[in-house]
Structure 1
């Protein structure tokens, strides 16, 4: 029996595997994609190009000009260039077969469009030609030539930095382009910039997943020996759990998308190349095969060895099939590992996993959440380790405990994605991660995007967390932000003198107070406005900072979670104190008031009543 008869999807799986986090993944580069698909005799993976209509509009704009497709490695710059080439009538074979650094195409009879698919590949002569063409098109109103450049942000800025233009001390294109990249200014009217590094979001993930799991090549799996014999296949199982509009599939996708969003809001840039690697790894990951990624050739051994459960897509999302070195090489896996899903737990979850099978009260929940999932939940492998632990074999205790710990972590990862809100409570699954308050953070962003009021419990969580950092004591103040000082020149973290109070919500006297809005990165930004202070002090509320504040508000010591977040909040405290001092130079001191015979001080109230305590000290003559 031939390979195609026995394993009809083998070529497709090999091709998909090369998109995963393998040590050698040259197919991830656009110039290799079409060639690899042609050799495998399959249709290539065609990713969505949401910016293509906008780029086409720029090509045909009446005002003319040129185009820069910017981004970091893996964002799909070359892919966009190739798509544009084909969309305006370019021959795909010419694009694939030509090794020229600059390609050109005549459009509209009187225009010529030049493509630079990688600015870093240009030699000095070609680079000079391209920049001269860019200057004529953008600055000198040349409408006969259009330039399309794919470049990393630093590459194009560095090329322009080294080049002079007429009498300008700073190249005019470089100056405005830098502002566009930093989102601090408007660009030139004849230079159309498309920054792909800003385009990765939750829809990018679901789009890539849909394209991979609905590829026509999967239809061949129905003729596979392992499917027809009923033995099953972890690759097919993983695909089925992502496929369709079932509640379980939608929940898994939603929670995975939330992780991607939080990682992005924490500052991780996840290019489409990494999203592809993640999706391929979810489908093909297995801890005991070559490179951690399954091929059709591996399935028979996996089934014979009873290691089906080690191909769990829930473990693959967290890259548990890969060595640590390879995880660190990929931003997407590094970002996802920071959630510590599987390592975090609760007593309820661990009690259910260890004793639920034998406890009459827990057994119905155990059967529903664990036992019913024969492949990745109540597998024979897990049950054997569970029984060995409970029977207490003293001679193999250490080995049994270590094996059970690994399996419990795997089960927690599965439960993070499968636990229904109707079980232990809405959003309970976040307790199985390092971001226990992530649901509140996502709700905050949702409300800000929809111009809805911020939920009062979230506002109080932020206020209380900030106040406890500002003062260094367990205050209960949630109506005002306390800007406190120790009263001396030391850097004491405990501050009991109230320097200023900023209302946590707008008041008649202070119409802004602690104002929370979305900034240009779609992150919540807190502006702290004192009375008559129009400028305010900004503070970007990232997911990890919100988590830090929420934990402090709920009684966790600040240095037990993130020393970096603590430093960020103490830096905010210093900025607020400096701002108070600037205002007091104009309006006078608010925390120490003098008259002829008394000195009045405002002390932080560490009780349950709100507001500062006023204490007057009589001054003897």
Structure 2
């Protein structure tokens, strides 16, 4: 007989999944479910928790101030607000109410303040017939610049924070506060000095960090011990239970490392995933099944799913991409959109598909089939897979319709291989060719890791990028890697073919000012070009731009991966040309004109020829 605790734990995990709920009250809703089911919430110390608390508890001068928590929905703003409320003696019962605004006197290090806490600015600012709410925001603005005994804590998404301060009008302290908030959001310098503002942008916390914390908190929860204690041979948490298998897969170091790598790449593609979305993803990964209510299994579903022979539909590898959900629900969750951009399941190589299609019949790949597919009796070479595999080999066209069901199985199996191919075989089997970003592994290993370790990115990597830049900047299939070519045309700098050489910047400048390098700027990789005149320009080297440049360097046409990247790089070229023109000597008209015309030698190396036009 299954214990109630185990059932309640699974029911509780479901609440983190893609269910309909009031997003603004997510933290409060989880607390209510926790109390109702007598289950401890999935919790961990937020990376900014200590700093946020210290901005209150470390006050010693008796002066008031303002603490702003901003970011996107689900970053943990409400959770941090509750931590402050609790630390300063606030009532849990009061917090459980639906109000957005709390006020109470607090004493910190012998000084008395009035705490004003707005846990969500958006509902707070609605319906203000007497203007009292606007007046409170005006008082907050003044507290940034004038002595006060008020302490303000405000949680707001980025947009509403700016929008509501703009509504206060363009004058006085509110206008100064707006300028200050905008500068902090943009990581610019404060327009005027103040030590009364503590500004925390929770979206600045990396997605990979959030994922690691969520994994540890979820997988380490005591609720799973209750599940093991009531395991049923042919039911919940027994050896054939998909919930148990998915839970154990997420604990596998290889699966975890691949998932973390994907989240690191999301960070490097400037895509932020808040805590709420990460927990949604993990809950869906463990409990997902298309036949279950809301696409999420409960403990009572397991025996029926096993009896029906449908455990394969609960594949963790498919659930991570929302395959268990109806398309409308999947499309509504940005985390699945972000992960779908990797194209995992739809990108492949001939060798990968030979493993999956011909398997043990092809002696060249049979070893990999046995180790990576056949050995996985849960989501790999099941009897159903074997049957459709034979059918597809005998007749690739479906008996009814245009698409053979085995093709959908291939999508699931490719996704599985991405998480199952061991690191020693990753290069040989071209792991990252299972994604759109074939150079993603190099990006992590050759760019991100050295920079995070305080080391330089290798000259070989910089040379490849420079070669890609040269092909875009000139429109020529050049092989030049040792120097960056700044070229334009008689028409404009954005012309597809640019053969008028304006400047060259050597990668290895031998002590000169000019150089091309990759460095961290605000914790993000940037391609930095320093020109001979000392002027410098930088380009954020996100994953998409890196992939684009690497593909161009290897011979792809500039526009066939990302038109947006192409436009970005031409804009970077224009910025470099403008910088190169600063302080440049312009010859007198009487001297005539001199051009340096680019051409390619037989090996593709760029050479320039001087062409002089005389006024005679």
Tell me if TM exceeds 0.5: yes
Instruction: Name 2:157's counterpart in structure 1.
Output: 152
- In the other structure, the counterpart of 2:524 is 523
Per-residue CA deviation, residues 212-252 of structure 1 (Å, 9 max, x unaligned), is 12222222212132458955211110101122xxxxx2222
Greater Cα shift, 170-179 or 328-337: 170-179
Q: 1:215 to 1:263 in 2, by over 3 A?
A: same
Contact 1:527/1:537 (<8 A) preserved:
yes
- Are positions 1:44 and 2:37 aligned together? no
User: What is the rounded CA distance, in whole Å, between the counterparts of 1:218 and 1:160 in structure 2?
Assistant: 46
Q: Does 2:264 match 1:269?
A: no
Tell me what 2:395 maps to.
392
Q: Distance in 2 between matches of 1:327 and 1:423?
A: 32
Give the corresponding residue for 1:432.
Answer: 434
TM-score (norm 1): 0.89
Deviates more, 1:286-295 or 1:456-465: 286-295
Question: Does 1:383 pair with 2:417?
Answer: no
Equivalent position of 1:541 in the other structure: 541
**Whole-angstrom CA distance in 2 between matches of 1:563 and 1:379:** 42
CA distance in structure 1 between the partners assigned to 2:354 and 2:337 by the alignment? 30
Q: Does 1:613 align with 2:616?
A: no
Structure 2 unaligned residues grouped into runs of 5+:
none
1:440-451 to structure 2, matched below 5 A, reads 440-442=442-444, 443-451=446-454
Moved more, 319-328 or 278-287: 319-328
1:83 deviates by 1.5
For each residue in 1:331-353, what CA deviation from the matched residue of structure 2 results, as whole angstroms up to 9, or x when unmatched?
A: 21111100000100011111111
In the superposition, relative to structure 1, how do residues 573 and 435 fare at CA in structure 2: closer, same or farther (>3 Å)? Answer: same
Aligned to 2:399, the other structure's residue is in SS state helix
Q: How does 1:478-489 map to 2 (within 5 A)?
A: 478-489=481-492
Count of residue correspondences? 602
- State the shift of 1:478 in Å: 0.2
C-alpha offsets along residues 267-287 of structure 1, whole Å, 9 cap, x if unaligned?
Answer: 222111111111111111123
Distance of aligned partners of 1:35 and 1:402 in 2 relative to their CA distance in 1, 3 Å threshold: same
- Give the SS at the match of 1:470: helix
CA contact (8 A) 2:462 2:517 kept: no
> Aligned match of 1:232 in 223, 236, 240?
240
CA apart distance, 1:37: 1.5
* Alpha-carbon displacement from aligned partner over 1:65-120 (angstroms, at most 9, x marks no partner): 22111122221211110111112332322311474632324224623322211122
CA distance in 2, matches of 1:129, 1:524: 43
Q: Which residue of 2 aligns with 1:188?
A: 194
Deviation at 1:465, TM superposition (A): 0.6
| Contact kept? 2:473, 2:485, Cα under 8 Å | yes
What secondary structure sits across from 1:139 in the alignment? Answer: coil
Match of 2:203 in 1: 197
Question: SS of 1:368's equivalent?
Answer: helix
Task: Report if aligned partners of 1:285, 1:321 keep a CA contact under 8 Å in 2.
Answer: yes
Matches of 2:236 and 2:160, distance apart in 1: 53
- Measured in 2, the distance between the counterparts of 1:228 and 1:76 equals 32
> What corresponds to 1:178 in structure 2?
182
- What are the within-5 Å matches in structure 2 for residues 69-218 of structure 1? 69-97=69-97, 99=99, 101-108=101-108, 110-122=112-124, 123-124=127-128, 125-135=131-141, 137-142=143-148, 144-163=149-168, 168=172, 171-186=175-190, 188-218=194-224
1:430-476 CA deviation, whole Å, 9 max, x = no partner? 11000110122223122223231212221111011111111112100
Residues 395, 136 of structure 1: CA spacing in aligned structure 2 closer, same or farther, 3 A cutoff? Answer: closer
Tell me the CA shift for residue 605 of structure 1: 2.5
CA distance in 2: counterparts of 1:432 and 1:474, whole angstroms: 28
CA deviation vs aligned residue, 1:269-316 (integer Å, no higher than 9, x gap): 211111111111111112332322212232223212222121111111
The 1-side partners of 2:93 and 2:100 are apart by 13
| Structure-1 separation of matches of 2:426 and 2:177 | 57
**SS of match in other structure, 1:488:** coil
Range moving further from structure 2, 55-64 or 347-356: 55-64
User: Following the alignment from structure 2 to structure 1, what is the Cα–Cα distance between the partners of residues 236 and 537?
Assistant: 65
Instruction: Please name the residue that 2:285 is paired with.
Output: 282
TM-score, normalising length: structure 2: 0.90
Please give the per-residue CA displacement for 1:542-595, whole angstroms capped at 9, x wherever unaligned: 1101100100111112222111111212222333333344443x3559xxx997
**Partners in 1 of 2:174 and 2:29 — Cα distance?**
38
User: What's the counterpart of residue 458 of structure 1?
Assistant: 461
Does 2:414 match 1:406?
A: no
User: Would you say 1:242 and 2:250 are equivalent positions?
Assistant: yes
**CA 210–236 in structure 1, closer or farther in 2 if over 3 Å, else same:** same
Relative distance call for 1:319 and 1:51 in structure 2 (3 A) is same
**SS of alignment partner, residue 427 of structure 2:** coil
* Contact 1:440-1:458 within 8 A present in 2 as well: no
Is the contact made by 1:471 and 1:482 (CA closer than 8 Å) also made in structure 2?
yes
